[in-house]
Every structure is written in structure tokens, then in C-alpha cells.
Amino acid sequence: MMKRIFSFGLWTVMHRGGDPFGQPTRAPLDPLQAMSGLAAHGAQAFELHAEDLIAPGSQDAERDRLIREARGLMEDVGIICVACGSDVFSDPVFRDGGLASNEARVRRQAIGRYKAAIDVGHLLNAPLFNIWGGRDGAEVDASRSPLDALKRLRDGFNELADYIARQGYNMRLSIEPKPNEPRGDLYLSTVGHVLGFIARLDHPDGVGVVPELAHAAMAGLNPAHEVAHALYAGKLYGIHLNGQRPLRFDQDLRFGAASLKDSFFVVKLLEEEAWPGPRSFDARPYRTTDEQGVWQFVEGCIRAYQILAEKVQQYHDDPEVQHLLAEIASWDTEEPDDTGGASAPRVFAYEQLDHVVFEILTGTR
Ligand code: GLO
Ligand code: MG
């Protein structure tokens, strides 16, 4: 069986439980502690924003020291970096956007940030640079035509892809869609939007998508269908697994904490397709979680994935499922109906099939 790689954003375990209405509730965790803690609790990989490791504005010597330390630690504890990104959303300078900002000066600054982070990713051997441009959106549509925003985003992504190619880095580029938050509306909002957008880039080939379950649910979409569109296009470059009640603020719940059935169907798809990429979690420990609980959160995410993968296997091994699926497959025929139209109407045994899934997921079968 394919060996699964479990990965977490460093920002997930470094998150201190703060929210828009409350101060942090946990002590800070430094990025190296985050890496070794992840390795000790079952993860083989991590993702990061370059800024999670290197504070913006650090001198080159400081940057080089931190990278050296990170590389040493990665070697020691046996953890790899599977994706790098950049925080082009927290600094107030990006409050009206990064790549899509109305200020040319700020767009240049965003490009500069991304390029510097691409260099960091390269030094950590990250095979992917994933961009979630959280400020590239709007509340005031009168401020900017959405078409101009898309053209600026296009120019920005073209420049970054070009930079990666010119540097000769062995790195792909991806876009992580999200419908809203922190902006009222983000321009690159769903997998479908992003696939359409990528097709208009200068070199669509090296650019893919990183769907996040919570983001699909926030848009009221079926996460497994979102992931399927990325797979179908050959563009599933990564995935962010977590839990989310639909149509709400970004909850980033532990994987398994919500939407059990949706999570099952995402795992089913990834496992059935033997998708080779890392199973990355992008969630937050609850605000009520203490420092120790953060590692229970990590183990919980991983365990939830493993349990759902076992449930997928159980589903395939179940004789009743096999019988029902064989019956469904038998309808897929062009043979003419030789009963002269007198055949009984088709019976779709979907009630039964859906209930079997329920029994498997509730452990009653
Ligand atoms: C926020 C996003 C964010 C990205 C990260 C990628 O909603 O999910 O956590 O995944 O910035 O670098
Ligand atoms: Mg994410």
C-alpha cells in the first residue's frame, strides 16, 4: 500500500487561540518546536509561510541562520517541507490586497514578498509554492473592476512562475481558493474559478490548485466534487483537510470535527485514486485547547484520516455494497430494451446504499 505522508501547516500548531473577538489563550510556540512536535506526534511533513520561520524585515544573516537551523532540525527529527507560501495578508500594507492591490507600489511589494518566500521554500526543498492571497478581494466593488483584479492577478502569477523557472527551482506553483474572509469577497473563490483562471496564464502547465475542505463548505459546495474537479484537470497539487460547518465564517476545525460524510467522500476519492500527494491539515486547535492539547489535535487529525481510510476499505469489502455497485454497473449498457417497453421501471437502491454508508460511518456495521 502507498505510504501516506501526513503534513500540517506550521501556522496550525503555532496558532495561539486568538480570534477576532479575543486575545490568544496559549503560549507561543516557535517554528522549530512546531517542527519537532509535529514529527514526534505522527507527521512526516509540514507546510509553512516563510514568515512563520523568518520574521519579515529580518537581516540576511538572520534568515540564513534560521534556515540552517531548520534544515538541521528537519534532518534530525526526520520531517520534510512539502509546501511553502507567504503571509501577504497580515501586514497592514496589504490591507487592500497584494497582487490585486489598487496601488502599483503595493503590488510590487507583494511580488517581492512572494519571491523572497519562494527562495526560502527552495532552500527547504519544498516542491510546491502555494499561494492563498487572502487580501486579494473586495468589500467595495466600486473601488476596482473585478476584471482589472483578475488581470493583475494574472500578471502577478505569470511573474512568479517566470521567476521560479528562471531560478531553475524544482518547484510547482499552486493557488488555494477561498470564497471570502478576510475580505468580503475574494476573487479566486473556488476550485472551478481557479481552474478557469489558470488556463489563461502564460504557462498553465506548472500551476495547480490546493482545495481546502473548509473553503468549499464556506461556499456551500460539496468538497469531494471540488477535489474531483482538480483531479480531473490533473491539477490537484495539494489539499488542505479540516472541518467546517457550511456557509459560515472560516472555522478551521480539526479534521473529523464536522461534516463526517463529506470528509469520508473526500478521503474515498483520494484513496481510490491513490493520489500521491501529502495529506495536509490546515486547521486550528480550539481556543479552549492548552499547550498539550495542541498535540492531541495533531494526532486527532491524523487518526481521523486513518479511520476514514479504513472505512473506505470496509465499504469496498462489504458484500452488500459490492452487490449494489455491481447492480448499478449492470445498468450502464446500450443494449436495447427487448420487452417492447413493458419492462418494470428501474429500482434505484440508493436508499439502501446510502444507509450502508451511514452504518459504516457510525460503526454499527
Ligand atoms: C486561510 C488559508 C491559509 C492558507 C495558507 C497557505 O484560510 O487556509 O491558512 O492555507 O496561507 O499558505
Ligand atoms: Mg488552507
Candidate of 15, 240, 244, 255 to mutate for ligand 1, largest count of ligand atoms within 8 Å of Cβ: 240
45 Cα: distance to centroid of ligand 2 (angstroms): 15
3-state secondary structure of 150: helix
pLDDT at 279: 98
Residues 15, 41, 52, 252: which is the catalytic one?
Answer: 52
The pLDDT averaged over each successive group of 10 residues in the chain (365 residues) is 90 98 98 98 98 97 98 98 98 98 98 98 98 98 98 98 98 98 98 98 98 98 98 98 97 97 98 98 98 98 98 98 97 82 85 98 97
Count of residues making up the chain:
365
- pTM of the model as a whole: 0.97
52 a catalytic residue: yes
Rounded (5°) CA angle 311-314-316: 115
Q: Whose CA is nearest to atom 5 of ligand 1?
A: 132
Q: How far apart are CA 103 and CA 317, in angstroms?
A: 58
Q: How far apart are CA 346 and CA 343, in angstroms?
A: 8
Candidate of 81, 129, 212 to mutate for ligand 1, largest count of ligand atoms within 8 Å of Cβ: 212
pLDDT at 27: 98
In tens, the pLDDT along 168-179 reads 999 999 999 999
122 a catalytic residue: no
Q: How does strand 172-175 pair with strand 207-209?
A: parallel
Residues 19, 30, 41, 49: which is the catalytic one?
Answer: 49
Q: Nearest to residue 262, comparing CAs of 279, 244, 280? A: 244
62 Cα: distance to centroid of ligand 2 (angstroms): 28
Q: How far apart are CA 195 and CA 57, in angstroms?
A: 34
3-state secondary structure of 197: helix
pLDDT at 343: 79
132 Cα: distance to centroid of ligand 1 (angstroms): 6
pLDDT at 1: 58
